[in-house]
Amino acid sequence: MGYIRRVQNGEFDFDKLPEGVYSFSGQEGFVKVVVDQKGNQFWNLENWFASLDPDENEEQRNKIIQDIKTRLNADTGTINPPKKKQKKLFLNPFKKEV
């Protein structure tokens, strides 16, 4: 029996979810995904912090969904926290970034 290595990015395939109701949680709240018999997915982002903006449009909603898909930990079913961006120092460009 050989060793099979799992792919780290995108190992949880959202496109092939069987019919059912799925819930995922993270630091910013939780999301609920309902998959019907035909495989159509309906995302409920009401309790997700990034989606609380009243001026949210469809493009922004799709970006939020894609972000959640990439951050999902398939082993635990939780959504990993967003990666923090490194700060650039304005005063001393020769010093390493913090």
Range of the domain at 23: 1-98
Q: Confirm if 69 and 63 have CB atoms less than 8 A apart.
A: no
Q: Which pLDDT value is given to residue 57? A: 77
End-to-end CA distance of the chain: 46
Quick: pLDDT tens for 4-55: 444 555 456 777 888 999 888 888 888 999 999 998 999 998 888 866 666 6
Q: Which pLDDT value is given to residue 34? A: 94
Q: Return the higher-pLDDT residue of 72 and 1.
A: 72
Buried b (16+ CB within 10 A) or exposed e, 72-98: beeeeeebeeeeeeeeeeeeeeeeeee
Q: Which pLDDT value is given to residue 10? A: 47
For the chain, how many structural domains are there in total? 1
Give the position of tokens 């982002």: 45
Q: Which pLDDT value is given to residue 95? A: 62
